[in-house]
Amino acid sequence: MRTLFSVLLDITTLPALTFLLLNKLIPESRTPAVKMAESQIEPPCKLHRLFRVYDPEVVAVMTILLGLFQVLLGFPAYYMSINIKLLHVCPVFVGAVYVAGGSFAMACIRIPSRKLVKSCLYASVFGLLVGLSAIFVYAYAIYDMKSVIFCEPEEFSHDCTPYGVFEYFNAFSALLLIYDMGALILQGLLLFSARKGLKTN
């Protein structure tokens, strides 16, 4: 003879068994609200650490600083340019692109998001293309100094360039080239970090 307790146990477990059976038979339908909640639970996409000593935040800050240095060097380039009249446009534009790329990387670190990581990836690709173009411009500015006519030490004319200005401009162009190559390497690191982050997340 069944006791009262066993009857109550059957009554309470029957709805649970029915619910489990219906869950197996009826396909799961997710509402937009459920999908949004599940997407929020997913781990955020962020920049990947390429190796142990690699810190994306430090790389982003250094990229911004090297970009700012190039922007600032664009102002003296306006007065110092000897063989290329619009040379000052190159460091200003390239520096602004590097600053934008580093800023996107900082945004990815502060607010991890797949959309921001994609923006960082595109900005890094554009920065690499612009940086490579700038290397050719600076290298040409240094190489083309052979065609510049220099003044003798005792004479001064508007048709020739003093030799001291030539040496100063040569060092200035080499400095721009070094800054650009450094920022180019950092942009490459950010590019691989963003690409790896999109793949792993």
**∠ Cα 174 65 82 (to 5°):** 30
Say which amino acid occupies 150: F
Nearest to 63 by CA among 194, 197, 179: 179
Residue 38: is its pLDDT beyond 70? no
Say which amino acid occupies 70: Q
pLDDT in tens, 136-153: 988 888 777 666 666 665
What pLDDT shows up at residue 8? 37
Residue 183 and residue 124: Cα distance in Å, rounded? 11
What pLDDT shows up at residue 94? 92
Residue in the block written with tokens 């921001």? 116
Range from 126-135, 140-149, 165-174 that averages highest in pLDDT: 126-135
What pLDDT shows up at residue 14? 45
Q: Please state whether the predicted TM-score (pTM) of the whole model is above 0.75.
A: no
For residues 8-24, average pLDDT: 44
Residue 173: is its pLDDT beyond 70? yes
Exposed, middle or buried, 191 (CB in 10 Å: 0-12/13-18/19+)? buried
Nearest to 190 by CA among 77, 56, 65: 56
pLDDT in tens, 50-79: 777 778 888 888 999 999 999 998 888 877
Which residues neighbour 109 within 8 Å (Cβ) at sequence distance 6 or greater?
Answer: 46, 47, 56, 57, 60
Residue 105: is its pLDDT beyond 50? yes
Residue 88: is its pLDDT beyond 70? yes
Residue 26: is its pLDDT beyond 50? no
